[in-house]
Amino acid sequence: MVTVASLYLARRVVKRPSHPRLPLYRRAIPGRHQSPCYPLTGQRLLETLHARSRRRRAARVRVATFASFEALGKDCETLFGWAERTGQTSHPGLYESERQRRHAPTRLRDGRFVMSNTMRGADIVARSLDLLGCRRIFTLSGNHIMSLFDATLETKIELVHVRHEAAAVHMADGWGRLTGEPGVAMVTGGPGHVNAIGALFAALAAESPMVLLSGHAATWELGRGGFQELRQAEIAGPVTKASWTAKSASSLSQDIGNAMRIARQGRPGPVHVSLPSDLLDEIVDAASIVWPNEHDGPVASNLSPHIADDVLAAIASAARPVIFAPPQLSDVSGRTLLRQLEEITNAPAVILESPRGIADATLGAFPDLLGRSDLVVLLGKSLDFTTRWIATPDFAQDVRVISIDPEVTMLERAAKELGDRLLLGCVANARAAAATLIARAVCRRGDEWLKEVRAALSGRPAEWASVRSSTAGRLHPAELLRTLRPYVERDNDTVFICDGGDIGQWAQSMLPARRRMVNGVSGAIGSSLSLALAARYVEPKAPVFAVLGDGAIGFHLSEIETAVRCNLPFVAIVGNDACWNAESQIQRRTYGQDRIHGLELTPARYDLVVSALGGHGELVTEADDLAGAIERSLASGKPSCINVMTESIAAPVVRLAS
């Protein structure tokens, strides 16, 4: 039986006139314990009503007790997962009536429900994220966002507390790359926000959908030298798709909905919203809130049928066409889509996801063929340094280009750079355009060119299969990766992460894993440990491997403690050559062997650091010992570091045989 009673329940409040009286179930007052709520019935209910009605400073709330969850009926199915509990797949929509909006219940941690007509701004943010399907926030605490920490207690959202704000952004970035859904990071204002900025640049270049929520000085402090006051939205603007500061508590739900939508639409990328602390504490009439709906996602722009036919006709008539795809298509579904497009058009499709662009070690000898191509299709890939602007000497002077891009500004750039070599330009989303081309393709061209390109992409020097180190106590990078490869390939769901400079290029060249994340077009290093944690959340049972350099591991080594605390096992293999090798190779090539300086590191025992933090560590100085170290690391069930002493070898370059 359902019993709903209106109670006057006593509570203590801070004696400060400006402090709002929050509903009973909120822990809004540090150091004060709220009066308990009890589900009461019968005589005990009447006795409690009589006793408590006489107490001072009462807060009027409604306490509802339910004999069973189903007694709620479908009024609450959007909030409390009716479909999840009953197996039904229909979605009734959000708050179908004004009555539902006004009396939306909040579920407490112990399963009870509290009915309230008001909400804090922080609760609006948390519930909006909950309604939009967010189940995990990567965060680092701070003064400005503690109300948000409190608000997530009433949701299904898990907080993953990290050790540096940039790591939180990297994790949200990794989540977005692997799932296609926006990852969410949350940091405090001021220095916490600034710490996250560099990682936003990496996410922007990787075209990763994610949202950064930053605490912010109170609105009444702005312009008066407020605590940690900064123009945060302006700082984040250049490294995000959109960046703004919330203006009112009542519109916070719309801010969250817009941020999650913008992160996914067009070319995916990071979005930032700053949340002033006074708006998070402000009390809002629940009836005035317009809640976001997870079904109100972005609408992908697509190719019109006649434009798609024109593109296909150009590909069919070209002798040696090439399709360049963007980083957003580097996930499993994107690679599958491109493979289908290749098979139906016989035009090779190549993803450019590295700062080395067409010279990415993953692509083997492919750059040697580009000078012969007569058509380049930019399928959502912007014309930039990774494509060498499709200019000579890498491309023929008369090569024609088709640009398909979700942003008009990128089409304008292509028109300016290419002039009359631009055959066609049209606005469309990369995935939608690829699917349309596949659906409308009716004729096939010969496959000789496709076979030639695939051979160049996959071919590797024969000596890589047997090369060994010439330095005692150190491994050649090829030895390391030959040993690792069977472990990466034995499970289709394995997530493989490449990070660092030259060691990352060796890993990308020798391990073309099905599910892979690289440090990305930005060229920023140091994200791999954070990406590994995100991968473990996405794939809790699949193996996760990260190959990184001894320079890269220094950025976020403390996240090993996060991995231990959150029970997120993975294997990190560090190529330790005790120097910043990529830069030393630049010094050697550009300035001479005798001018290499300032790039030394120590042969540090990163394995011991990981062991001290609660993980598993292994030191490897001989190639024959590496397989055993990998086996023990996998069997440990802990975050693991295999510290492999390696030679300083330049990144691989593969060329076509004469």
Q: pTM above 0.85?
A: no
Q: Would you state the pLDDT for residue 94?
A: 37
In this structure, the number of other CB atoms found within 10 A of the CB of residue 194 comes to: 17
Range list of H helices, 9-74 = 42-52
**517 and 530 share one domain:** yes
**383 and 277 share one domain:** no
361-406: per-residue pLDDT in tens? 999 999 999 999 999 999 999 999 999 999 999 999 999 999 999 9
**102 and 143 share one domain:** no
**230 and 131 share one domain:** yes
Which residue, 265, 298, 331, sits at the end of a domain?
Answer: 298
Q: State the Cα–Cα distance between residues 354 and 651, nearest whole angstrom.
A: 13
Tokens of 396: 């023929």
Q: Would you state the pLDDT for residue 79?
A: 35
Among candidate residues 475, 464, 501, 469, the one with its CA nearest the CA of residue 581? 501
**Torsion angle, alpha carbons of 322, 327, 331, 333, to 10:** -50
Residue 355 in contact with residue 523, Cβ under 8 Å? yes
Nearest-5° Cα angle at 495, 489 to 497: 105
19-54: per-residue pLDDT in tens? 343 333 333 334 333 434 434 444 454 455 445 544
The residues, ordered by sequence, that sit 6+ positions from 210 with a Cβ below 8 Å of its Cβ are 169, 172, 173, 175, 176, 182, 183, 184, 185, 203, 263, 269, 270, 271
**294 and 314 share one domain:** no
Among candidate residues 537, 507, 519, the one with its CA nearest the CA of residue 208? 519
Among candidate residues 170, 8, 288, 181, the one with its CA nearest the CA of residue 546? 170
In this structure, the number of other CB atoms found within 10 A of the CB of residue 121 comes to: 27
Q: Is 368 exposed, middle or buried (0-12, 13-18, 19+ CB in 10 A)?
A: middle
DSSP letter string over 268-336? --EEEEEEEHHHHH-EEEGGG-----TT--PPPP---HHHHHHHHHHHHH-SSEEEEE-GGGGSHHHHH
- Which segments within 118-173 are labelled E, that is strand? 118-120, 136-139, 158-161
φ/ψ (deg, to 5) at 329 = -95, 15
**404 and 260 share one domain:** no
Tokens of 371: 């000078």
Radius of gyration, CA atoms only, the chain: 28
Helix (H/G/I), strand (E/B), else coil: 23: coil
**124 and 108 share one domain:** no
Q: State the Cα–Cα distance between residues 249 and 262, nearest whole angstrom.
A: 20
Residue 434 has pLDDT above 60, yes or no: yes
φ/ψ (deg, to 5) at 159 = -95, 125
* Bigger pLDDT: 164 vs 78: 164
Q: Is 126 exposed, middle or buried (0-12, 13-18, 19+ CB in 10 A)?
A: buried
CATH number for position 250: 3.40.50.970
Residue 150 in contact with residue 120, Cβ under 8 Å? no
Could you tell me if residue 654 is inside a domain?
A: no
Could you tell me if residue 185 is inside a domain?
A: yes
Q: Lowest mean pLDDT of 3-12, 226-235, 381-390, 625-634, name the range.
A: 3-12
Could you tell me if residue 231 is inside a domain?
A: yes
**377 and 265 share one domain:** no
The residues, ordered by sequence, that sit 6+ positions from 611 with a Cβ below 8 Å of its Cβ are 617
Residue 140 in contact with residue 114, Cβ under 8 Å? no
Residue 105 has pLDDT above 90, yes or no: no
**243 and 362 share one domain:** no
% of residues, the chain, pLDDT over 70: 82
Report the first-to-last Cα separation within the chain, whole angstroms.
Answer: 84
Q: Name the helix (H) or strand (E) containing 517.
A: strand 515-518
Tokens of 583: 């830069």
For residue 64, what pLDDT band results from cuts at 50, 70 and 90?
very low
The total number of structural domains in the chain stands at 4
Which residue, 76, 96, 116, sits at the end of a domain?
Answer: 116
Could you tell me if residue 42 is inside a domain?
A: yes
Range of the domain at 575: 466-645
Q: Helices 626-636 and 477-489 sit at what angle, rounded to 10 degrees?
A: 40
Could you tell me if residue 652 is inside a domain?
A: no
* Bigger pLDDT: 56 vs 235: 235
**323 and 376 share one domain:** yes
267-296: per-residue pLDDT in tens? 999 999 999 999 999 999 998 899 998 767
The 3-state secondary structure of 223-256, one letter per residue: CCCCCCCCCHHHHHHHHCCEEEECCCHHHHHHHH
Cα four-point dihedral sign 169, 173, 432, 389: positive
Q: In whole angstroms, how far apart are CA 446 and each of 229, 316, 452, 575?
A: 62, 9, 12, 43
Q: Is 372 exposed, middle or buried (0-12, 13-18, 19+ CB in 10 A)?
A: middle
Could you tell me if residue 658 is inside a domain?
A: no
Among candidate residues 383, 385, 388, the one with its CA nearest the CA of residue 371? 388
Q: State the Cα–Cα distance between residues 7 and 63, nearest whole angstrom.
A: 7
Which residue, 93, 116, 139, sits at the end of a domain?
Answer: 116
Residue type (1 letter), 214:
S
Could you tell me if residue 352 is inside a domain?
A: yes
Q: Which residue has the tokens 């400073």?
A: 57
pLDDT (mean) for 119-143: 97
Q: Name the helix (H) or strand (E) containing 195.
A: helix 191-195
Could you tell me if residue 650 is inside a domain?
A: no
Residues in the chain: 658
Residue 506 in contact with residue 654, Cβ under 8 Å? no
**109 and 126 share one domain:** no
**146 and 79 share one domain:** no
Residue 427 has pLDDT above 70, yes or no: yes
Residue 591 has pLDDT above 80, yes or no: yes
